[in-house]
Amino acid sequence: MPHSNRLRIVLAATAVIGFAYLPLAEAREPVVLEQPFAVSDNPDANYVSAIAAAHDNDVLAASTFFQEALRADPNDYDLMAHALVAALVNGDIDNAQRLATRLIAHAPDNSLARLVLGVANLKAHRFVSARGQFVSIGTKDSPNLIADLMAAWSLAGSGKTHDALALIDKLQDPSFSVFQDFHAGMIASVGGDRKDAATRLGIAYKNSATTEQVADAEARDLAINGHINQAKAVYQAFLKLAPHNSVILASLKALNSGAKPEPLVANATQGAAVALFGLGATSARSGDGGTAIIYLRLAQYLWPDNALVLVTLGDFFLREKQYAEAYDAYDAVPKGDPLRVSADTQIAMIYRATKHNKAASRKLTDILKDHPDNFEALVAYGDMQRDDKDYAGSAATFSKALALDKASNSVTWVDYYSRGVAYAQNKQWDKAEADFKAALKLSPEQPEVLNYLGYSWVDRGEHYDQAFKMLRRAVDLRPQDGFIVDSLGWAFYKLKRYHEAVHELEKAVQLEPADPLINEHLGDAYWRDGRKIEAHFQWNHARDFKPDPKDLPRILSEIKNGMPPDTKPVTPAPAQVPSPAPAPPAAPAPAPIVAPSSPVTAPSTAPAPAAGNPPPVQPGAPAPTGAAAPPPPAAADAPVPRKGG
């Protein structure tokens, strides 16, 4: 049975009525899933469907269709290899084991199959067999780090601590040094060698003090050895970088209460799970989402209730809009775990993404009743209030988040920017302007703030010279951001420099071809520049791209009647606004990141919110809480409040 059994049983049981409801008990709100898929009697059709599902990151469908295609041709080993990957991504490790066993018989050097069988043996405490699989992993397909770490933990499980450490010590690549020292320290700890554990974990911490698990392991080891004040100092140093990290906060609170901590890992199985998690996080940082999710699924198999693994899995699936899988991962976080509030906050985002806005709001208000000072929940709620056009409420919520950061001396530009957007949308410009200036004082080169404040000044007829400098700088910093380019073009439009406006807005449409407001802006500029046929073409695009309901009547009027004569006086142009350079061919927008950033390293700066325009309405910064919360999912975005044409 694949992972996510409960959800998928519901899906299968309701397939006869054409759609499924996903019962989410806590909120008592159903999440409507997409129409269930059906396998075909045609093997070729199943194979094509499997490839399409894999391309769309639909993990359940991909695994199911590959399995059906393989059923029709059980000796197709290329197909079997695809089915193995799909089963792993789907979390169906039992099926993956069966496929790996069959695949090894045909291709004994298949590294992934060896890894799966080794992990299965390790979980069953068949440590000798596990090590046999790991040492058979060749260096051609995988780096030695994978084989050596897993083989070392297999030796540790067999009680051969000395041999395990000797194997770890053979790692020569300097890029592996953090893994090397960290895991050697944990292996020594599991083997009962407290002195060696302290030495090795101390080295790992010295080289990677900003990594959550390394800092946590070091502090725990210090406390176990009686060095309580040093342990507290490790936690306090980490919290200076990530003041809202719920895992470290909980650990420090427990230490202050006199509780005696346990080691980070208690046995070889948990240690191997941490190794796989670390490899998954590294793969995610490098943009290799496919490899990352396989390591994370194997880590989950070895340590099913590890909250950090589960939240990271949930974040991955939420980014991919695989909401059932994301929900299952978050909901599996144990009650009472420090990361449970983060998981529940992300469940609220799933409700939002699936258009269950009332359930999302109730979920977040319930969280904040129990945890009124939870930074991540406050930011998520402030974002939601702003999306629902409750700008006053949003500003008040972001004020609470800002107060928390002030209390911990960790204020970032995002704190002021998020509240400033809410103030601006609530027509409290003096407060908004002050917040934007405060944000720029903390971080002068933030394109989002430069864009918002610069555009707003132009729109208000204020500070033209400074505003255009800001907009130009924002475009220089983010040249492939169509929303920011649009702001510059619309600023030229407001100054009646229509030819220059067209130049910039054409680039903006190339970068964001499906945005209705950018298309409308270009249509307006075409009309004023005397290109009326092209103007109607762009307005029709704007209409077809589902604009905000408040913008639609204006767009329809423009399509029907055109624009009235331009009788307003010309706004004074800024003294030094350079004319745009000839437009280069538009480069494609950056590819979306499909894997979550590593949640184990404390960010030194707050994560930047996504760009928007004109002016953009950004989400606030997600709180670093052990596993970094992803940005609100795209499907959850309510129509963005923007200034119209």
Q: Check pLDDT > 80 for residue 315.
A: yes
Residue that wins the pLDDT comparison between 284 and 98: 98
* Residues 524, 296: Cα–Cα separation, whole Å: 50
pLDDT band per the 50, 70, 90 thresholds, residue 18? very low
The residue ranges of every structural domain in the chain are 410-645
- Terminus-to-terminus CA distance in the chain, angstroms? 54
Residue 294's nearest CA partner among 311, 306, 308, 277 is: 277
**140 SS3 class:** coil
Query: Model confidence over 324-358: pLDDT tens digits?
Result: 899 999 999 999 999 999 999 999 999 999 999 99
Residue 11: the pLDDT is: 25
Convert the pLDDT of each residue in 179-205 to its tens digit.
Answer: 899 999 999 999 999 999 999 999 999
Asked if pLDDT for residue 576 goes beyond 80, the answer is no
User: Distance between CA 257 and CA 251 in Å, rounded?
Assistant: 10
Q: How confident is the model at residue 628 (pLDDT cuts 50, 70, 90)?
A: very low
Where is 64: in which H helix or E strand?
helix 59-72
Give me the architecture of the 410-645 domain, per CATH: Alpha Horseshoe (1.25)
Quote the longest CA-to-CA distance of the chain: 87
Q: Is the pLDDT of residue 55 over 70?
A: no
Mean pLDDT along residues 227-239: 96
Q: Which segment of 85-89, 412-416, 611-615 scores lowest on mean pLDDT?
A: 611-615
Segment (H or E) for 24: strand 21-24
User: Quick one: pLDDT band at residue 117, thresholds 50, 70, 90?
Assistant: very high
Q: According to the model, what pLDDT value does residue 176 have?
A: 78
Predicted pLDDT of residue 6:
25
Locus of tokens 């300097």: 174
Q: Residue 631 half-sphere exposure, CB side, CA atoms within 13 Å?
A: 17
Mean of pLDDT over the chain = 81
What's the pTM value of the predicted model, to 2 decimals? 0.77
Beta bridge partners of 32: 21
- Is 381:365 a contact under the CB 8 Å cutoff? yes
> Which of 477-481, 611-615, 622-626, 634-638 has the highest mean predicted lDDT (pLDDT)?
477-481
SS3 29: strand
Query: Over 50: is that where the pLDDT of 582 sits?
Result: no
pLDDT band for position 571 (cuts 50, 70, 90): low
CA distance 132 to 151: 8
Q: What is the distance between the alpha carbons of residues 469 and 463, in angstroms, rounded to a whole number?
A: 10
**pLDDT of 174 above 70:** yes
- Separate counts of helices (H) and strands (E) for the chain: 31, 2
Distance CA 313, CA 329 (A): 6
**CA-to-CA distance for 20 and 36, rounded, in angstroms?**
7
Task: Pick the closest to residue 603 from 303, 241, 119 (CA basis).
Answer: 241
Measured CA to CA, the distance from residue 43 to residue 455 in angstroms comes to 56
What is the predicted pLDDT for the residue at 289? 83
Mean pLDDT, rounded, for 153-169:
95
Is the pLDDT assigned to residue 639 strictly greater than 70?
no
pLDDT confidence of 567, banded at 50, 70, 90?
confident
- Give the pLDDT score at 222: 96
Check pLDDT > 50 for residue 22.
no
Kindly report which listed range (99-113, 279-293, 364-378, 506-520) carries the lowest average pLDDT score: 279-293
pLDDT at position 81, please?
A: 82
Four-point Cα dihedral 228, 233, 238, 244, nearest 10: 80
Q: Which of 161, 151, 154 is nearest to 188 (CA)?
A: 161
549 burial (CB, 10 Å; 0-12 / 13-18 / 19+) is exposed
Q: Does residue 596 have a pLDDT over 50?
A: no
Tokens for 292? 């990352």
SS3 content of the chain, % helix, strand, coil (to 5): 65, 0, 35
Reported residue count of the chain is: 645
Q: Does the pLDDT of residue 602 top 90, yes or no? A: no
Burial class of residue 250 (count of CB atoms within 10 Å of its CB; 0-12, 13-18, 19+): middle
Confidence of residue 497 (pLDDT cuts 50, 70, 90): very high
pLDDT at site 288: 83
